[in-house]
Amino acid sequence: MKTFRYLLIFIFSLFTANSCLVDDTTRYDLNDDGYNLAGFEASSQTLTSIADGEEYPFQLRMKVKGPTIMNITSDITVTIAADPASTAVAGVHYRIDNPSLVLSPGNNLLGLFTITMLTEQITETPSEATLILNTSAATGDPTVTNNGKPITLKLSYACPSFLEGTYDVTTEYTATTGTVSTLNWIETITKTGIGFYRTERVGHWTIADLGGTPGFTFSDVCGVLSVPGQNLVDLYANWVEGTDFGSVDPVTGDLYIEYSICYGGACRYYKSTYVKQ
């Protein structure tokens, strides 16, 4: 009797194991029946350029993903179109030279779609426009379709900045004792990045007095100048920092910058006017 009972338990366990195996296979088969999807990798992205009349190309990542992409042997051609809900205007804010992109199995079905930001007709800065791109079609394999998900691009236009050049400098210098004096010299300002510049002199010292990296760094954001905190000529513990926002004269291009140099609680103050030659 015990033997018969054990035999029933063994048969029942085999039935249960087989049932689980069949269920797992069924779910796997259903997954294989789904489409592979072609489209943009990201759903949103910000593209930034200076409104200086130039053109700026940007590349957006695209790919095919899905349950059977390993079986795809032919090229997939995806077609991209701007959504009517976009506020960006073709020919003003952007240009698409080729609305189609080929995703090849040899490149793991990955590709880069190029869009060019235009700035020549951008007269107000800073400004923004929104471009929504749809993958409208995907052809080349019956298992691939477009994913139907757009990418939203925020096209951000920054103010142009051309402050590099030679200037006549007049500086009102307030010493730690409170004594005020006026200094004059000529120097060249160098552009170091988008909206960032470096002077040749800092404080009341000459270049030879300090060594290190001559001058100080300041930034220009739409005519508002600021001096970020930094060590004196990138060498000394003295701290150089703006005391107020500076400015750019929109007509003459002259600059006005205020900053201090402090050490151990004692500070020197500088108010400098840069007249462009």
Query: If pLDDT is split at 50, 70 and 90, which confidence band does 33 have?
Result: low
Q: Thinking of the domain 165-276, which architecture would CATH place it in?
A: Beta Barrel (2.40)
pLDDT, position 126: 86
pLDDT, position 30: 37
Q: Check whether 97 has a pLDDT greater than 50.
A: yes
What is the average per-residue pLDDT within 85-109?
97
- In tens, the pLDDT along 67-84 reads 999 999 999 999 999 999
Cα separation, 230 vs 269, whole angstroms = 15
pLDDT, position 34: 83
At 31 the three-state DSSP class reads helix
- In tens, the pLDDT along 1-27 reads 443 343 333 334 433 333 333 333 333
**Torsion angle defined by CA atoms of residues 90, 132, 72 and 65, in that order, rounded to the nearest 10 degrees:** 150
Residue with tokens 């291009």: 253
- In tens, the pLDDT along 205-261 reads 999 999 999 999 999 988 999 999 999 999 999 999 999 999 999 999 999 999 999
pLDDT, position 99: 97
Identity of the residue numbered 77 = T
Residues 6+ apart with CB under 8 A from 2: none
pLDDT, position 245: 95
pLDDT, position 22: 33
Residues 6+ apart with CB under 8 A from 179: none
DSSP state of 52: S
- Strand-pairing partners, residue 219, are 196, 226
Q: Which residue has the higher pLDDT, 30 or 193?
A: 193
- In tens, the pLDDT along 251-276 reads 999 999 999 999 999 999 999 999 99
Q: What is the 3-state secondary structure (H, E, C) of 199-225?
A: CCCCCCCCHHHHCCCCCCEEEEECCEE
- In tens, the pLDDT along 122-164 reads 988 889 999 999 999 999 999 999 998 999 999 999 888 999 9
pLDDT, position 124: 86
Q: Check whether 63 has a pLDDT greater than 90.
A: yes
Give the angle subtended at the CA of 236 by the CAs of 175 and 212, to the nearest 5°: 105
pLDDT, position 11: 36
pTM recorded for the entire structure: 0.64
pLDDT, position 195: 87
What is the distance between the terminal CA atoms of the chain, rounded to a whole angstrom? 112
Q: For the chain, what are the domain ranges?
A: 36-158, 165-276
**Which tokens go with 161?**
């900045």
Cα→Cα distances 14→18, 19, 272, Å: 6, 9, 90
What dotted CATH number matches 36-158? 2.60.40.2030
**Which tokens go with 58?**
């940007």
| Chain-centre distance for alpha carbon 234 | 27
